[in-house]
């Protein structure tokens, strides 16, 4: 069949549409929770290996930056789910200049990050 017809049928019947969890709680309670937990563990191991952060004591009257898990199903060239990916991101937008920080920092990727 014509690719456009297949596209329309997929759209009408939601075929091939993958809905990833949008919250940590949904990731833990969905049928694929074991895969999401594994993806979160991989992310934490990667952050530890790459020394992404340093654990320090929070100064008095300082506010810790909140974080959020982002979940994404990675697809192969045929549209099949290849793996689950989880990213832990900081909610830096909650900080206020002069109150929560005084200067900005732009990290640089390592050469090993590029393929």
Q: Is residue 115 part of a domain?
A: no
Please, what sign has the CA dihedral across residues 52, 100, 55, 38?
negative
User: In a 3-state reduction of DSSP, which class is residue 69?
Assistant: strand
**pLDDT given for residue 73 in this prediction:** 93
Structural domain tally of the chain? 1
Residue 9 pLDDT exceeds 80 = no
Q: Is residue 25 part of a domain?
A: yes
Q: Is residue 6 part of a domain?
A: no
Residue range of the domain that includes 49: 19-54+64-100
Q: What is the pTM of this model?
A: 0.67
Name the token pair of 13: 């019947």
Q: Is residue 9 part of a domain?
A: no
Q: What is the mean pLDDT of the segment spanning 81-93?
A: 87
How far CA 29 is from CA of 18, 69, 113, in Å, comes to 16, 14, 33
* Residues in CB range of 37: below 8 A, 6 or more apart: 27, 28
**pLDDT given for residue 108 in this prediction:** 66
**pLDDT given for residue 7 in this prediction:** 67
Q: What is the mean pLDDT of the segment spanning 19-39?
A: 95
């Amino acid at each position: 069949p014509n690719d456009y017809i297949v596209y329309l049928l997929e759209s009408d019947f939601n075929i091939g549409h993958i809905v990833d969890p949008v919250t940590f709680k949904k990731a833990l309670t969905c049928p694929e929770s074991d895969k999401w937990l594994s993806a979160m563990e991989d992310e934490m191991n990667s952050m530890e290996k790459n020394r992404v952060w340093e654990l320090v004591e929070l100064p008095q009257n300082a506010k810790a930056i909140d974080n959020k898990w982002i979940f994404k199903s990675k697809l192969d060239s045929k549209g099949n789910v290849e793996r689950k990916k989880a990213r832990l991101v900081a909610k830096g937008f909650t900080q206020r200049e002069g109150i929560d920080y005084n200067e900005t920092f732009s990290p640089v990727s390592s050469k090993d990050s590029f393929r």
